[in-house]
Structure 1
Amino acid sequence: MSTNGHEIEQEQELDVLVVGAGFSGVYQLDKLRKAGFSAKVFEAGKNFGGTWYWNCYPGARVDSDFSIYQFSSEELWKDWNWTERFPGREELVKYFDYVDKKLDLRRDISFDTRVTAADFDTTTDRWVVSTQNGRTIRPRFLVLCTGFASKPLFPDYKSLDSFQGIMHHTAQWPQEGVDLAGKRVGVIGTGASGVQVIQETGPVAAHLTVFQRTPNLALPMFQHKLNVATQTKMKATIYPYLLRRREQTFAGFHFDVIHKSLFDISPEERYISFDDLWTKGGFHYWLGAYEDTFRDERANNEVYAFWRAKVLERVRDAEMQRKLAPEVPPHPFGVKRPCLEQQYYEVYNQPNVTLVDLQENPIVEITPKGVKTQDGVEHELDALVLATGFDAVTGSIAQIDIKGTDGSLMREKWGKGLSTYLGLTCAGYPNMFFPYGPHGPTAFCNGPTCIELQGDWIINCITHMRAQGKTRIEPTQEAEDEWTARVNEIYSTHLWSRAKSWYIGANVPGKRVQTLNFTGGIPLYTRLCRESAENGYKGFMISGKA
């Protein structure tokens, strides 16, 4: 980057600063530049990818089908071919490199630049943004594309730092990788990253010890390789329809929930339907299932029973069966995010694998040699993997010192109870947007779908303000209160609260338990956002003169 005074001055008076260079940040930058705005991206990592840059642990892989887990622009998909149905982390990094070259993104991105603070200047209607490496920038608008899982959560175990072997959180895995072959490996956690590490490490470790608090109700991925010829045909026929279909379904996938009650059909039809959804693989059995699965416990029990029967077929040991697929469900099926797996359950048939149930036998401390449990056993390890998740959805934003017009920090405001308007903005924090974040469809949506729908709304809003010659926009407190009440009301009609999950912040000690996501589905969400825009951005105060 040039350091002449003119360019520094231009950078200080920027139209839009985007924080984060994952899917959301890349989409924002491209669209903002095409709309004629001056825009820059600050990214804490050394490269593109967001979650796909940081999460480089063994087995890291996406859980959406290749055809819809990408940007919808034909400019990008027409020349790109995937190698697997569910692409792995390395392929996603290559995809971002391809997108960078196609769109010439890098010239407007500063890597190794972590944003630490932002303060709104009411005299100029600009944000004053500071970074860890001492930079300051004054954008008119601030778009936080920090993702929902960028603040790792570390367990509060006694003497955690005393362990003398290899120890890493999955979200802070060394970029050069770690060789776990032939080692005694412990994995704490069986969420998505835990499942992926376990099924990758089990076959190569000298011994694998899994510390499980709650069994993951994982679903079969049914992974397979792809060829260019098949994708070429798809691009010429179905690709545009698949990508547009995303906007019409509950979770932004190319398939939708079945809008019928499970008990409107016979037991025979029900079983055949379950089996069909199961054999399709991926999230069909979850987000393509009967809609009453998520609100009717009786229907949910039917779905769980079928899932359990499928898992028991794959696990030989009775004790392992009890821990992995208990007769009584640990929580309603699907109210915690299932993980997609390939050979996860087969790992537990191996003689070199131990499963410790932390509900029955908790960890009491970490020792220099390994992990000590309540029964007095010290599990000696060479490597300890912390697959303990994230302070999800709000944590990514709350870790930045963001001051509103009254001087209060965003994390203080949200600490009293999460409130937003449209899951994109917040009263008292003008000219700030946060796609793929709190109170959006975030955790219940295919990432690129949510990112593009919200991203387009943000750019249209900023473009509208430019046309009107306005410099400041923020939601009214009344609009924010109404939106928050709507989010909570929709959430309360389903079974989500029946599990201690990151969906509601229950995985973080001391965090307020509340819904962090809009659970009403993509069609309703986009309609509500569109109605605000079509009614002159109803719910917002727009002011100032450019």
Structure 2
Amino acid sequence: MSTNAQQPSLSNQELDVLVVGAGFGGAYQLYRLRQAGFSVKVFESASNLGGTWYWNCYPGSRVDSDFSIYQFSMEELWKDWSWSERFPGQKELVEYFDYVDKKLDLRRDITFDTRVTAAHFDTTTNRWVVTTQNGITVRPRFLILCTGFASKPLIPDYKGLGTFKGVIHHTSRWPQEGVKWAGKRVGVIGTGASGVQVIQECGPDVSHLTVFQRTPNLALPMVQRKLDEKAQKKMKEEMYPYIFRRRLQTFGGFHFDTIKTSLFDLTPEELYLELDELWSKGGFHFWLGAHFDTFTDERANDELYAFWQKKVKARINDPEMQRKLAPIVAPHPFGTKRPCLEQRYYEVYNQPNVTLIDINENPISEITPKGVKTRDGVEHELDILVLATGFDAVTGSIAQIDIRGTDGVLIGEKWGKGLSTYLGLTSANFPNMFFLYGPHGPTAFCNGPTCAEIQGDWIVDCLKYMRDKHFTRIEPKKAAEDGWVKKVNEIFSAGLWNKAKSWYTGANVPGKVIESLNFTGGVPLYLQMCREVVEKGYEGFVLSGTQDTPRPHL
């Protein structure tokens, strides 16, 4: 249920802070900023809290982090909440947000069904002028964008896409009431995380399933299990505080870390047994819990892929399916595209009613009123077409908004020439604007709530510092921004990431600059670098007061 009774009184209001988005990042910012005594409101385009978990309501939608760390770390929240599964599904996550809302009384400061369309910085008042599609205008001192890294769907430009007469939905815009597909002919374009989840969910129920695959997903076993409330109670009493602190010490903000020694320090027997143990643990242990040199050394990476290929191939019956789903030669270095977690994905392809089209060999030529036609002239007739085609990730969520800074240039135009941020939190010429879980942060390599809290705390502490020192404006220097971009790219180039065509680099979006969109140095290094900036008096920023001439604060 949305609460928008406050909309009329919001117009023309001057706030300390406007937060855009009510997922993990936005909810945490609202809670912490209110604690700190700031006047703050949240605009959310959906009808409820949850961010990605509101929108991604397709069947099978599920998180890829263990329950213990995919939640807020505040004791007042976790002590009274218990999860039902190791990897919670979308419905349970929506229930969790409802619980958090009631506990923290968030809803009273959130305006739902309100999409921000423009934000222009007024240099005469040092405030943002923010407008929405439903006619609200507010003037916050600070603008914090918690729009998530995957909220701008990528819709392929297929010929005839609008002519299809059946049911068609992008996974991130799935109808809340659901779609009935039992006994239907279903086509799925894309085999990223949402594609894998939809395919394994619908496979047993449909009359025929046609999957259009560009790149095989190097998916990992989820090893899902039901949870016992008594065991969770013991974890809360003995483990939770340590688990939450441990997140800040690991590469990906998880409760486990990469192995720092080389994979080649092991004998072949030791290596096999170690990889088998990581595999059996499920989740991302085989990826973010493996040897770190698998990210930088192709020979080490090949060892991981060979093990993965052997395990997956054994689950697929047909040799042609094996070739397409688990090829002998890796389609890209393992882990340089985010793996997804699966439960029965590969078994779906053993069903006689499943067709797998490799669109590299046989591309989609057009969408017809009846279905999908491929280059070989075959028309695959469908009742339902699922677009699991991903997102204009990391930057697209922000760049789609008309945001203009001191020079009048759109943020999307600036970043269209090459991504530039400072600390993955700010961008030059856009004063008093922060973003989290987005461009140049640990984003794609970090547990979501972990990232939201790490960056969220930094932002709130910065605003408190400014208030205490009577500053009303903060902006990064261009030189500091250039230095951060250089550092991000240096770390990125030391790994194997650029050997894959992925949303990590924007390569999935036609015309987008291919570059590192994330900080790939890990959470501990990111934390250290952000803390050093603060310890040096917010080095790299210019802070100023309303009537003051802007001056460097070193």
Partner Cα separation in structure 2 for residue 279 and residue 2 of structure 1: 51
Partner of 2:36: 35
Partner of 2:482: 481
1:325 paired to 2:316: no
**Alignment map for 1:514-525 (pairs within 5 Å):** 514-525=515-526
Deviations 1:293-336 (A, max 9, x none): 01111111100000000001110110000000000100000000
1:158 paired to 2:159: yes
TM-score by length of 2: 0.97
Local SS of the residue matching 2:152: coil
Partner Cα separation in structure 1 for residue 504 and residue 313 of structure 2: 28
Partner of 1:336: 337
Local SS of the residue matching 1:171: helix
Partner of 2:103: 102
Give the AA of the match of 2:351. Q
1:205 paired to 2:209: no
Local SS of the residue matching 1:210: strand
Partner Cα separation in structure 1 for residue 362 and residue 6 of structure 2: 59
Partner of 1:244: 245
Deviations 1:275-295 (A, max 9, x none): 010000000000101000011
Deviations 1:520-540 (A, max 9, x none): 000000000000011110000
Partner of 2:172: 171
Partner of 1:539: 540
Deviations 1:48-92 (A, max 9, x none): 000000000110000000000000000000000000000000000
1:446 paired to 2:447: yes
Partner Cα separation in structure 1 for residue 348 and residue 287 of structure 2: 23
Partner Cα separation in structure 2 for residue 122 and residue 236 of structure 1: 51
Partner of 2:511: 510
Deviations 1:179-210 (A, max 9, x none): 11110000000000000000000000000000
Partner of 2:552: none
Deviations 1:197-251 (A, max 9, x none): 0000000000000000000000000000001101001000001111110000000
Indicate conservation of the 8 Å contact 2:7/2:136, yes or no: no
Partner of 1:316: 317
Indicate conservation of the 8 Å contact 2:126/2:141, yes or no: yes
Partner of 1:56: 57
Partner of 1:357: 358
Per-residue deviation at 1:8?
A: 4.4
1:412 paired to 2:404: no
1:255 paired to 2:260: no
**Alignment map for 1:179-194 (pairs within 5 Å):** 179-194=180-195
Partner of 1:302: 303
Partner Cα separation in structure 2 for residue 3 and residue 374 of structure 1: 54
Partner of 1:214: 215
The alignment yields a C-alpha RMSD, in angstroms, of: 1.1
Partner of 1:139: 140
Per-residue deviation at 1:4?
A: 11
Give the AA of the match of 1:247. L
Per-residue deviation at 1:3?
A: 6.4
1:292 paired to 2:296: no
Per-residue deviation at 1:156?
A: 1.1
Per-residue deviation at 1:12?
A: 1.1
Partner Cα separation in structure 2 for residue 230 and residue 125 of structure 1: 52
Local SS of the residue matching 2:537: coil
Local SS of the residue matching 1:140: strand
Partner Cα separation in structure 2 for residue 118 and residue 338 of structure 1: 35
Partner Cα separation in structure 2 for residue 8 and residue 75 of structure 1: 30
Runs of 4+, deviation exceeding 3 Å: 1-5
Give the AA of the match of 1:240. P
Give the AA of the match of 1:474. E
CA 225–476 in structure 1, closer or farther in 2 if over 3 Å, else same = same
Local SS of the residue matching 2:504: helix
Partner Cα separation in structure 2 for residue 510 and residue 201 of structure 1: 33
Give the AA of the match of 1:323. K
Per-residue deviation at 1:118?
A: 0.3
Give the AA of the match of 1:503. Y
Per-residue deviation at 1:545?
A: 3.7
* Alignment gaps of 5+ in structure 1: none
Per-residue deviation at 1:265?
A: 1.1
Local SS of the residue matching 2:230: helix
Partner Cα separation in structure 2 for residue 161 and residue 386 of structure 1: 13
Per-residue deviation at 1:418?
A: 0.3
Indicate conservation of the 8 Å contact 2:10/2:137, yes or no: no
1:78 paired to 2:79: yes
Percent of residue pairs identical: 74
Local SS of the residue matching 2:140: coil
Partner of 2:394: 393
